[in-house]
Structure 1
């Protein structure tokens, strides 16, 4: 596998953005790694970070490069600051960047990446779990499967939990008036209902959360809504909290799930 650190310019954000990229590479005499790697139509996973993280955190805190090697999959890890994968009220269009511009840039720079929906995936943790779920719900024509680990996936009616992390001014800067988040395009529960009503082909969803995680009940809530809407959702859980020990373990399960269900 090749590990590439890139600085790209985002016209949407009007700033330089860092991304890390893992690409399959044909190699010889590399101990413990496959030498038969795809070089065209490569499946791609957009892997999103949480609050406090950036483009480097998945590679620093897990063995994602080693885990993904057996699946011959590319991984795109962008830095999106604390933007919550949302077009913020302070005029930073993080949603447009992650959902529209970043895939275009990556296909320009790495033409071996697939353009097929059935081979395009998203995943993330915490804030990134929210972002990945949002990509699946709002861009079902682009993503075949998405996975959320310990995701903040029921924020519309659960702003009280987020106010324990940052104050109201922070969240208003992201989403606008807090009493208007529920039922908006930034509310995953609302997006579940909207996608179900659209009759569009629905991506496969995978959610996992530690049973001691403060977001566990939120994950139960949205899984229940997805099941009510007859969406293809897998929910798994086990001992664990909002920690890298949990995410390092379960990102391996995500990759396995993507491989099994593809």
Structure 2
């Protein structure tokens, strides 16, 4: 049984992915009145490392927040594959951008254009959301990252070695990381290098960018988010940046998610009378 409130419903959809050569399931959060003839803005919300399509539903008040903002929210999953076209040939970026986005446009009352479409995520998903928005500004008009792992393409060795004995640590080992990203200097890493993506930023298709991190997050994560802020400032790219109390956990996300959703919602076209046949 999917979670449901008086304000929102959750549907499970399954579509075959040619890019991945397998069927993929997603959860879709809809306003309870989504059959009222209006088209809605849509947010693709990406989970963190090792998560799945149910992670946000189990750990946050997403249903309440999305309903209050009049958002349709799509919850895909990539396990530990980072939502990218990776070193081992898994094409999660192609699936997300070129298959799932149009499938959602066809199946649900969304605006169906970049003006009404955003992407966001936590940790792995936060970095992936910003990377994909920068790589595909004609698809996404806004991107929000919570505790984003922006340094993933630059990582060498195991910067979390000192934390390996801590319960609940969900950071990839060297072997797991390099299965996705390849060794340092790989073509995959270069394709998602944050500095390179920002250097190629298309100012004719501005993306609303929101970066948020917990002040008590892992030192590496806090530093990489601050570096992203500085990189955006140096290039004169408009963005919002926030540090708030919290670590790399769901308690932090509970406080960070509502303002991030509000940012995305303000950057997207509002719900409107349906014009599609």
**Same fold? TM cut 0.5:** yes
In the other structure, the counterpart of 1:9 is 16
Q: 1:26 deviation in Å?
A: 2.1
Alpha-carbon distance in 2 for matches of 1:75, 1:222: 26
Alpha-carbon distance in 2 for matches of 1:85, 1:219: 19
In the other structure, the counterpart of 1:202 is 206
Is 1:172 the counterpart of 2:178? The answer is yes
Alpha-carbon distance in 2 for matches of 1:131, 1:250: 17
Pick 1 or 2: higher relative contact order, CA cutoff 8 A, min separation 6: 2
- Runs of 4+, deviation exceeding 6 Å: none
Alpha-carbon distance in 2 for matches of 1:73, 1:211: 28
In the other structure, the counterpart of 1:25 is 32
Alpha-carbon distance in 1 for matches of 2:141, 2:228: 19
Which blocks of at least 5 consecutive residues in structure 1 are unaligned?
28-36
- Residues 128-181 of structure 1 show CA distances to partners (whole Å, capped at 9, x for unaligned) of 001100121101111111000000013333434556433333222212222336
* Alignment RMSD: 2.0
8 Å contact 1:40–1:114 — kept in the other structure? no
Question: Which secondary structure state, in structure 2, belongs to the residue aligned with residue 258 of structure 1?
Answer: helix
Aligned length: 250
In the other structure, the counterpart of 1:150 is 147
TM-score, scaled relative to structure 1: 0.88
In the other structure, the counterpart of 2:120 is 123
Which blocks of at least 5 consecutive residues in structure 2 are unaligned?
1-7, 162-170, 269-277
Alpha-carbon distance in 2 for matches of 1:217, 1:181: 24
Instruction: Give the 5 Å matches for 1:37-52.
Output: 39-52=37-50
Which of 27, 43, 53 aligns to 2:51? It is 53
Question: Which secondary structure state, in structure 1, belongs to the residue aligned with residue 38 of structure 2?
Answer: coil
